[in-house]
Structure 1
């Protein structure tokens, strides 16, 4: 199949390119090459590439900045998605779209099902949910996959930040009362490639690595595994702190664990535990 990946410079798009099955013709476009806020650019790309499937990894993801820049967040996360959906509708193209756990308010105490009611706490979450609603209205045969705490050996992310801080600081403080599941972008990419091969699949799904953690738990595991693998030369105290001690412009859900059962069934693959996935990613870094 001819596949167009939108959002080339992001972690997930990079992993998608790296793990692309050889039988597909894959073309990834950066925002500079294809700005989804400009419908004419989308139509040009569709006429040039004639894609059968589009995987949209493009998004406004600056969670805190979005609180003071809502217009830009909605322009990309809602308006850009609308432009893509309309073009896919016109050209008969299947769309796979990546969304976020931030569509939920974190008041659950059990993993969120795809059909659970969304109630975003932030501009970022609200803009991403608005994009989901656009897709449901315009392109009900599309695939929406929500994910959480994404990291990769490529790009900037929490794992790399913790490794840098361990080298620079005598100790660090990490929030311990926000609970979720880390997601190695490579695992999400593998799920998406499975779904590409199943044109009958549509709807909303959840995908992250298995297990749960706080940001504090995640940071402790990063340090332990990185030290074992020789990526860092020392270990430092990592202190658990409450969210109130680290205020941010955007409110985050305190609990955003996602129920992956329907995604596992749709792709016929199982999630791996987040610590196992983290270990593999650190091996890549090494």
Structure 2
């Protein structure tokens, strides 16, 4: 029970930790993250193309197409011909193969070891092997405790006032109200706001999912409802008669730029006040 309780964390909690709070650059130093992403010019593609559903033979061909690495921080696009590009940063999905690779590499070694020990009458019993396995797994959790302490460093930034939609509890921890009116804390309560000093205080690394949750909380309610409606409609793009869906909105929230949303399939028509999602 204890083994599987820890082992099954590899595909969720530990992998998220590796993705959000781990330096995965191997052959060079990790660059300083940009406060705002570098914006590229809008691609010259039509927002509306009513061609019906893509032919099945073209959809099958996409299964064998290599996915290009994204362009980062204004640098040249990464290609699959340079193997060092894959090491900076190491893709988080690679860590899911470590367990299988270790079994493949170490199985012959331990098969030889058990036979050699058995010949000398020193092979440990099966319960003893299980105990040593639990000891080694407990030691690995000790390493994660040390990593968590290193990650849990304080940082702060000046903020004159909180945007609308964000609130604090009695301890100053930052959160938002859910549909039932309960205050849901951001970053497990490790993000606080000091109103007297005008400081936003953080312990640890703030992941992008928490950042996006905070931004979402400040969005006007009518715009949030329009985006939710657009998301529901966009799920039926392949089955619909066209390749785009749209919702009518008054205007974009102040300071909002779709190019920073990380979704190239979004577009806003200023003249008609429509928010469009399309499939290239």
TM-score (norm 1): 0.25
